[in-house]
C-alpha cells in the first residue's frame, strides 16, 4: 500500500512540476527545486507502482492488489488532471483516499462488499472533506497561483467552503451511532464519539458562522482534523464487535491483539461513569438507571423481536 501511494504521489508531482513551482507551499519539492531529475522520479514512480501492486498480489489477494492498482490509476490519470479542470477534483480525490483502509480490510480476509468495508471507506471519505476544504481555504491564493480549480477560488466569502466543512462534519458525526445500530461496535463508541466529534463540529460551526472566515478558523479546523482520525480509529478498534473467528491460525494470530484490547476495555470500565452507575450501591443489577445500558437493552430487544418475527414468518 505504501509503495502504491508513493508511486501515485510521485507521478502526481511529475505531472504538476510547473504548477508546484508556482506555489510557495510546494516550490521546494524535489522536482521543482531541481534536487532530482525527471528521469529519476519517473524510474522511482514506475518501480514503486509495479513493486507495490506485485507485493499486494503475492502477499494478500487479487482483490487487494486490484484495489491498489485502482488507487494508483485514479490518482494519476483522473484526480491529478481534474485538479486543473474542475473543483469536483476534491470528491474524486476523497474516493482515492478512502480505498486504502478498505484494502487493509480485504487483505485481512474481509469481504469487499460488506458493511465493515463501507464504514472504513466512508470514514476516510467524509473526513477528507473538512480536512482539505479547510486546507484549500488557508492556501487559496497559493492554489490560484498554481492554476488549481479548488472550491475556495470560486467562493470569495468562504460561505460555500465553510458550509461544506460543516455538512461533512455532521455526516462524520453520524458514523459512530450508525456503527452501533448496525452491531459493528458497542454503544460506547457512539458515546465516546462526542469527545472527538464535538470539537470538530464546534470548530466547523465557528468557521461557518463567522462572517470573517479568517485563516485562524480554517487552521484550527484543519489541525483538529489531524488529531481526529487516529482517535476515531482507535475507539473503533477498542469497541468493535468482531465476528467470531473459526480458523485456528487466525485465532492464534489475533490472540495478542485481543488481550491488549481487553486490558484497554477493563481499564475503561474502571473509569466509565455508566459502569459506576450500573454497579453502584442501590442500583439494580440490570443497570436500569444507566441511559447507555437502557439503550443497549432496547437495541437488543428490538433485534430479538425482529428475529422472532422472522422465525414466525418462516415457520408459517
| Domains in the chain: boundaries | 1-113, 125-243, 272-315
3 state DSSP class of 240: strand
pLDDT of residue 221: 95
C-alpha cell at 290: 444507566
Is the Cβ–Cβ distance between 87 and 133 less than 8 Å?
A: no
pTM above 0.95, yes or no: no
Q: Report the distance separating Cα 224 and Cα 217, nearest Å.
A: 11
Name the CATH topology of 1-113.
Tetracycline Repressor; domain 2 (1.10.357)
3 state DSSP class of 185: strand
pLDDT tens for the chain, 316 residues: list them. 889 999 999 999 999 888 888 888 888 888 888 888 999 999 999 999 999 999 999 998 999 999 999 999 999 999 999 998 999 999 999 999 999 999 999 998 889 999 999 999 999 999 999 999 999 999 998 888 888 899 999 999 989 999 999 999 999 999 999 999 888 988 889 988 999 999 999 999 999 998 888 889 999 999 999 999 999 999 998 888 865 544 444 445 455 655 665 666 566 655 555 555 555 544 444 444 555 556 666 666 766 777 777 777 776 6
pLDDT of residue 90: 93
pLDDT of residue 286: 46
Q: Report the distance separating Cα 306 and Cα 304, nearest Å.
A: 5
Burial (CB count <10 Å: 0-12, 13-18, 19+), residue 55: middle
pLDDT of residue 249: 47
pLDDT of residue 175: 95
CA distances from 102 to 7, 88, 107, 111 (A): 19, 23, 8, 9
Q: Is 287 left (phi over 0), alpha (psi -120 to 50) or beta?
A: left
Is the Cβ–Cβ distance between 218 and 207 less than 8 Å?
A: yes
Rg (CA), the chain: 23
Of residues 127, 119, 142, the one with CA closest to residue 28: 142
pLDDT of residue 108: 87
Amino acid at each position: 500500500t505504501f509503495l502504491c501511494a508513493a508511486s501515485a504521489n510521485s507521478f502526481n508531482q511529475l505531472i504538476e512540476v510547473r504548477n508546484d513551482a508556482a506555489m510557495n507551499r510546494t516550490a521546494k519539492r524535489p522536482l521543482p527545486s531541481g534536487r532530482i531529475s525527471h528521469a529519476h522520479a519517473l524510474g522511482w514512480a514506475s518501480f514503486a507502482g509495479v513493486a507495490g501492486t506485485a507485493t499486494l498480489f503475492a502477499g494478500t489477494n487479487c482483490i487487494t492488489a486490484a484495489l491498489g492498482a485502482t488507487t494508483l490509476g485514479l490518482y494519476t490519470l483522473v484526480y491529478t488532471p481534474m485538479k486543473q479542470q474542475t473543483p469536483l477534483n476534491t470528491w474524486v480525490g476523497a474516493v482515492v483516499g478512502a480505498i486504502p483502509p478498505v484494502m487493509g480490510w480485504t487483505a485481512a480476509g474481509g469481504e469487499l462488499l460488506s458493511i465493515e468495508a463501507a464504514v472504513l471507506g466512508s470514514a476516510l471519505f467524509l473526513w477528507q472533506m473538512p480536512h482539505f476544504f479547510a486546507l484549500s481555504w488557508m492556501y487559496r491564493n497559493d492554489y490560484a497561483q498554481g492554476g488549481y480549480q479548488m472550491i475556495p477560488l470560486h467562493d470569495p466569502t468562504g460561505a460555500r467552503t465553510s458550509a461544506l466543512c460543516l455538512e461533512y462534519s455532521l455526516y462524520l458525526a453520524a458514523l459512530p451511532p450508525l456503527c452501533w445500530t448496525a452491531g459493528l461496535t458497542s454503544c460506547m463508541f457512539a458515546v465516546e464519539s462526542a469527545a472527538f466529534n464535538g470539537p470538530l463540529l464546534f470548530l466547523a460551526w465557528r468557521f461557518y458562522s463567522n462572517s470573517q472566515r479568517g485563516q485562524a478558523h480554517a487552521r484550527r479546523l484543519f489541525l483538529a482534523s489531524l488529531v481526529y482520525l487516529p482517535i476515531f480509529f482507535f475507539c473503533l478498534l477498542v469497541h468493535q464487535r468482531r465476528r467470531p473467528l473459526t480458523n485456528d491460525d487466525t485465532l492464534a494470530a489475533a490472540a495478542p491483539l485481543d488481550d491488549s484490547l481487553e486490558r484497554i476495555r477493563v481499564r475503561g470500565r474502571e473509569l466509565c461513569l455508566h459502569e459506576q452507575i450500573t454497579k453502584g450501591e442501590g442500583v439494580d443489577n440490570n443497570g436500569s438507571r444507566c441511559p447507555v445500558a437502557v439503550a443497549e437493552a432496547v437495541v437488543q430487544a428490538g433485534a430479538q423481536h425482529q428475529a422472532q418475527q422472522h422465525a414466525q414468518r418462516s415457520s408459517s
